[in-house]
Amino acid sequence: MEISDTGGMEKMMYTDPKTIVPPKNLDELIEELHKVFDSDHVNVEYVTELMASYKSNPKDWKKFAIFDLHRYTRNLVDAGNGKFNLMVLCWNTSQGSAIHDHANAHCFMKVLDGHSQEELFEWPPGSEDDGEMKSKGKKLYERDQVAYISDTIGLHRVENPSHSDTSVTLHLYSPPFSECQSFDERTGNARKVQVTFWSQFGKRTPCVGFDRYCTWTEPCPCFYQCLFYVTNENRQRGRFAGFSLYVSTTGDIQGPTLCYKNGPHLPPLNFTTTCTEHGRYVIFYNERLDGVTYPEGYAISNVHTELCEVIVKGCNRSGVFGINCDKPCPSNCKDNTCHIENGSCCKTGWNGTSCDTDPLLKYLASLTTGELQESYGKSENVHTRVT
């Protein structure tokens, strides 16, 4: 089967977009696609306009739209006639794919709901020198718009750019493929990725090819979903890297107490640390500055904060410490606050477990009269103080 542009094919059926009768629903679109791909010659512009002419209606595709909290999903809608397949991809907030190719297939993507952002990349040069992949630009697609890509155009990454709304896209691949390549943006290195479905025809797909690196419980994700999610996890860690945690009494970023600073290694996405400072606000701060060289793995483009949940545990009143906040701080603590774990707090001039020891008095009391006279002279004040 040949897929090409309109050149030299004007007289053939399914080549002139002006002859398209917009499908009334998804079933009619699928029926028309079967007719188009029954031919040995398929026109890219015609298929693009045909898919765009269908006006998205959630009633048509809702049963295929199965989301997952942690990864985007590929849900088979129609297996085609052996020359194509059609699927609904569901993108939760801020979810995206890895940079990937299409195994010499043609890919049409229509936005059914929300927005979809496509970033095109040049093919890696294939030399031994690793280097960051070169972006060819980004484009935002709105509802009912259609994008097209093939390996002759380049590689791409697709993501839902919204932090609050989900996205649903309709994808047609011709011919269907079961394996593609996923690329590391930092180095251009590629690896083979098996392609499977999260669901087929509205029903959850039994897990096949479960990879040993996946740790989720049943129903388990398939191999494709696992590898792509791990790639996205590394990208999220790169965005997360280098962050700082501050404790403040005012909420102002100027003048707070530093509690934790990440680096140079990438942090885990589930992160816990202990801060023993006293304050009313916990401030999360990260930055990427022009002219600064960051450690390997740090994301330096398309960086944004992706905090799903923040839990701050501590005592809701001053003057106490301990796991249950039921132990009183020593009486000589400055501002009546102490270390939340062990109760230490001594203000200047005091020490000891309960901050009840004056170190100067303790030192003077340990000296003999001769030592005192040698150190301080025959001062009545000193002698009086230690007697």
Q: Position 146: which residue type?
A: V
User: Would you place residue 358 in the very low, low, confident or very high pLDDT band (cuts 50, 70, 90)?
Assistant: low
Q: Residue 20: inside a domain, yes or no? A: no
- Please write the tens of the pLDDT for every residue from 313-333: 778 777 888 878 888 888 777
- Which letter does DSSP use for residue 207 in this model? P
Give 7-24 as a 3 state SS string: CCCCCCCCCCHHHCCCCC
- Which letter does DSSP use for residue 63 in this model? G
Residue reference for tokens 């990725």: 193
Q: Residue 218: inside a domain, yes or no? A: no
Residues 276, 345 within the same domain? no
Four-CA torsion 173, 175, 177, 183, nearest 10 degrees: -60
Instruction: Kindly state the average pLDDT of the residues 10-24.
Output: 83
Distance, in Å, from the CA atom of 98 to the CA atom of 121, rounded to the nearest integer, reads 11
User: Would you place residue 338 in the very low, low, confident or very high pLDDT band (cuts 50, 70, 90)?
Assistant: confident
Look at residue 306 and tell me whether its pLDDT is greater than 50: yes
Beta-carbon-side half-sphere exposure of residue 74 (alpha carbons within 13 Å): 22
Average pLDDT across the chain, whole number: 81
- In this predicted structure, which of 9-13, 113-117, 211-215, 310-314 has the lowest mean pLDDT? 211-215
Residues 117, 70 within the same domain? yes
Q: Residue 7: inside a domain, yes or no? A: no
Question: Which pLDDT belongs to residue 270?
Answer: 79
**Beta-bridge partners for 357:** 351
Answer with the one of 203, 235, 269 that is the final residue of a domain.
203
Look at residue 209 and tell me whether its pLDDT is greater than 50: no
Residues 159, 77 within the same domain? yes
Residues 100, 164 within the same domain? yes
Domain that holds residue 352: 320-361
Distance, in Å, from the CA atom of 195 to the CA atom of 200, rounded to the nearest integer, reads 13
Q: Residue 314: inside a domain, yes or no? A: no
Strands 146-150 and 41-43: unpaired
Look at residue 49 and tell me whether its pLDDT is greater than 80: yes
Helix (H) / strand (E) containing 246: strand 244-248
Where do runs of H (alpha helix) occur along the chain?
26-36, 44-53, 58-61, 223-240, 359-366, 369-376, 380-386
Q: Residue 13: inside a domain, yes or no? A: no
- In this predicted structure, which of 20-34, 180-194, 234-248, 294-308 has the lowest mean pLDDT? 294-308
Between residues 302 and 325, which one has the greater pLDDT?
325
- Please write the tens of the pLDDT for every residue from 76-90: 999 998 899 999 999
Between residues 170 and 215, which one has the greater pLDDT?
170
Question: Which pLDDT belongs to residue 310?
Answer: 79
Question: Which pLDDT belongs to residue 2?
Answer: 64
- In this predicted structure, which of 37-51, 59-73, 204-218 has the lowest mean pLDDT? 204-218
Answer for the pair 282, 247: CB distance below 8 angstroms, yes or no: yes
Q: Residue 212: inside a domain, yes or no? A: no
Residues 185, 137 within the same domain? yes
Residues 135, 265 within the same domain? no
Q: Into how many domains does the chain fold?
A: 3
Sheet holding 73-78, edge to edge: 146-150, 106-113, 167-174, 85-91, 73-78, 199-200, 203-204
Question: Which pLDDT belongs to residue 386?
Answer: 37
Answer with the one of 168, 203, 238 that is the final residue of a domain.
203
Between residues 34 and 376, which one has the greater pLDDT?
34
Distance, in Å, from the CA atom of 322 to the CA atom of 338, rounded to the nearest integer, reads 10
Closest by alpha carbon to 331, among 354, 299, 357, 309? 354
Instruction: Kindly state the average pLDDT of the residues 265-293.
Output: 85
Question: Which pLDDT belongs to residue 20?
Answer: 95
Residues 92, 179 within the same domain? yes
Domain containing residue 90: CATH number:
2.60.120.10
Question: Which pLDDT belongs to residue 337?
Answer: 79
Share of the chain above pLDDT 90, in %: 40
**Beta-bridge partners for 245:** 260, 284
- The per-residue DSSP string of 321-342 comes to ETTTT-EEPPTTBGGG---TTT
Residues 103, 230 within the same domain? no
User: Would you place residue 382 in the very low, low, confident or very high pLDDT band (cuts 50, 70, 90)?
Assistant: very low
User: Would you place residue 27 in the very low, low, confident or very high pLDDT band (cuts 50, 70, 90)?
Assistant: very high
Instruction: Kindly state the average pLDDT of the residues 161-178.
Output: 94
